[in-house]
Chain A
Amino acid sequence: MLEIKDLHASIEDKKILKGINLEVNAGEVHAIMGPNGSGKSTLASVIAGKEEFEIKKGSIALEGEDLEDLAPEERAHKGIFLSFQYPVEIPGVSVTNFMKTAINESRKARGLEDMPANQMLKLIREKSEMLEIDRKFLSRSLNEGFSGGEKKRNEIFQLAMLEPKLAILDETDSGLDIDALRIVADGVNKLRGKENAIIVITHYQRLLEYIVPDYVHVLHDGKIVKSGNKDLALELEEKGYDWIKQEATV
């Protein structure tokens, strides 16, 4: 589904990604771990198409289609979803209104009519129940005054509503207490399917106890230096990142 080949990316001439190779197939969950500053969030932003990052070399393709020339909204229409580490606030725009706009814009891009209101309401009801979200929450302004946990849960709610092919969860566990983490992870697990793929970016192994990955990759200094199965995450938890760094420099 996603194919990244020898990806080099920079911001203001500072090289951050230095040759990433990654292949994610439908039905798989990949975890990307690594110390601070290793390029995890940059990788997520580059896949989503944030323009301040410049691709110097290499390619990203979704289902065989090169993404380089596509605008972020076009990538979203193709089924890429990024759960933000720091979701932004949009005062005066309710969660419901925001979702309605997002869904209908994606439908428009696919040549479909707006989703009928009753269908939209049904979808909202279904997904909010699944994620144990209080309906009152949905009429609040997007992320304004939300707690850290509420923001992340709202991201997963949007994920559930938009049903993307590829979901990238950027540090979704940060700022979550254990109960919120469980709810968010349950939600993500319910969304796992044969047709879609998930990339979980995380610092800690904790989230991976709930969202069990098929593959774990360790990012260090802009490169994937080690890949393995879920046991790699446990090993990292136990030993820290230093041994990886040493191994990488050898």
Chain B
Amino acid sequence: MAYTEEELKKELETKEYEYGFYTDIESDTFPKGLNADIVRAISKKKNEPEWMTEWRLEAFRIWEEMEEPEWANVRYEKPDFQAISYYSAPKKADPNKSLDDVDPELLEMYKKLGISVDEQKRLQNVAVDIVVDSVSVATTFKKTLAEKGIIFMPISEAIQEHPELVKKYMGTVVPKTDNFYAALNSAVFTDGSFCYIPKGVKCPMELSTYFRINEGGTGQFERTLVIADESSYVSYLEGCTAPSRDENQLHAAVVELIALDDAEIKYSTVQNWFPGNKEGEGGVYNFVTKRGICEKNAKISWTQVETGSAVTWKYPSCILKGNNSVGEFYSIAVTNNFQQADTGTKMVHLGKNTKSTIISKGISAGQSQNSYRGLVQVNSRAENARNFSQCDSLLMGNRCGAHTFPYIEAKNKSAQIEHEATTSKIGEDQIFYCNQRGIDTEKAIALIVNGFSKEVLNKLPMEFAVEAQKLLEISLEGSVG
């Protein structure tokens, strides 16, 4: 049967969260609530040096003085920060164990998620650092990387083993004072990834981290720090899936990228946190601060595929400090049912001849709200800065919304800034055309959405692009078959 607009909408709404299961692993969980003692306890639990504890406490004091921001185009019940437990580690995890020693239940969980470490190791040239709740469970390919002098480890280990690097760079791109969630993260982050690429080294493999939230009622606060020293290159992949939960879960990560002279960082994310059920209950709040700084001739490229979370607040940004530096942002944001996303980027042009490109694709279905918010800022000394922005929205049905908030501040007359925007709708005619060629409605929607998102999907590393395509289909189709 052919689909009317009405049926199409219904079909889109019947999508259920595919990864909704809960693995029972005994957890070592802190009591709920946040105060200076909890911050100290987290630091102690991680055996951190004094300077780190002080850093956290300062962040906590800053956070206490701050207000939760309200300018984003999202509506949600504010989390009660005293009702969250700030530390949870799977009890059976031991970073010294080999993969074979890992809790079979954990491995089973990865299998369900389709991210089995074994498979990753065998099939792809990918080093995987897995974060379950807050503690890293397994790190692979460490040796190969070590030979090149590349450091890739949980940030908690880096604090112990490479304090000089962590001290020098942490908080330099996203300061503790940056915003409410960044301050919170600085105070309570439990783990995350650390990566350092030495001068002139091209990282021979994609570095990858899969994050997930597992313990009910716990927030997750990862901290990621990637440093690409002069003339080095690294491609970093981050993927997320989370099991279905009733209560809202808070996720407030901070990612800092530092690209020194002539270095290049490519950072790709596939985000699939639990989006809530189709009545709009539950789901992850994703309030993330991601920012990179480019020194001379450096390049940072952000690519993100956002399909999950009940509320998304996320603006991976580039500070183009050095002359001739380049910033890129490629994004696909999908919202369905009652999801809300306010996402985009900031490109801050400080150096001369700096260039930035923004390609944003928003797809809204159900009763969701999808906003692009982007800032292109050209400093008075940034001669010949160039920006190209393209924001496309695809709507399904009549009850969802797509919004574009482009901010442009140019203080130098030589700046060239272009902004293009389109809004389109999946039409019954397109669906019927596909149907007539033997392609059912579900497959037709996948085809049209993939076509719409192609420019961004093409920017992802191959194996990630396949996963991302799968996620787009899961996010937008009925659960038929």
Contacts and interface: CB of A to CB of B under 8 A. Distances in A.
A88 B430 contact: yes
B451 A91 contact: yes
Contact of B435 (A76, A103, A162): A76
Interface stretch (A27-35, A43-51, A115-123): A43-51
Interface stretch (B61-69, B74-82, B438-446): B438-446
B452 A51 contact: no
Interface in A189-238: none
B454 A158 contact: no
A87 B455 CA distance: 23
Contacts of B429: 88
Contacts of B427: 88
B339 to A, nearest CB: 23
Given A72-B2, A88-B427, A88-B433, A102 B452 contact: no
B447 interface: yes
Given A51-B1, A88-B427, A88-B430, A93 B447 contact: yes
Contacts of A109: 438
A240 B80 CA distance: 79
Interface in B255-288: none
B435 A73 contact: yes
B432 interface: yes
A84 interface: yes
Given A93-B448, A98-B447, A51 B440 contact: no
Q: How large is the interface on A (under 10, 10 to 19, 20 to 34, 35 or more residues)?
A: 20 to 34
Contacts of A142: 451
B96 interface: no
B437 interface: yes
A101 B436 contact: no
Contacts of B432: 50, 72
B450 A77 contact: no
A105 B2 contact: no
B439 A50 contact: no
A102 B437 contact: yes
B4 interface: yes
A141 interface: yes
A141 B434 CA distance: 14
B430 A105 contact: no
A90 interface: yes
B439 A91 contact: no
Most buried by B among A81, A101, A162: A101
Nearest to A92: B451
Interface residues of B, number: 27
Contacts of A98: 437, 447
A84 B452 CA distance: 22
Contact of A77 (B1, B438, B451): B438
A241 to B, nearest CB: 29
Contact of A73 (B4, B428, B440, B451): B440
A179 interface: no
Interface in B1-26: 1-4
A71 B435 contact: yes
A12 interface: no
A56 B253 CA distance: 60
Contacts of A51: 1-4
A106 B438 contact: yes
Contact of B438 (A50, A52, A76, A93): A76
A98 B440 CA distance: 13
A82 interface: yes
B439 A102 contact: yes
B451 A141 contact: yes
Contact of A90 (B4, B438, B447): B447
Contacts of B437: 73, 76, 98, 102, 105, 158, 162
A82 B439 CA distance: 14
A102 B447 CA distance: 11
A103 B436 CA distance: 12
A98 B1 CA distance: 20
Nearest to B7: A51
A65 to B, nearest CB: 16
11 contacts: A49-B2, A49-B436, A50-B2, A51-B1, A72-B1, A72-B436, A73-B434, A73-B436, A90-B447, A105-B443, A106-B438
Interface of A: 48-52, 71-73, 75-77, 81-82, 84, 87-88, 90-93, 97-98, 101-103, 105-106, 109, 141-142, 158, 162
Given A101-B447, A102-B438, A158-B437, 19 more contacts: A48-B436, A50-B432, A51-B1, A51-B2, A72-B1, A73-B440, A75-B436, A76-B435, A76-B436, A76-B437, A82-B436, A84-B433, A84-B436, A92-B452, A97-B447, A101-B443, A103-B438, A105-B438, A141-B451
Q: Closest 6 A-B residue pairs measured CB to CB?
A: A92-B451, A51-B2, A93-B451, A72-B435, A76-B438, A102-B437
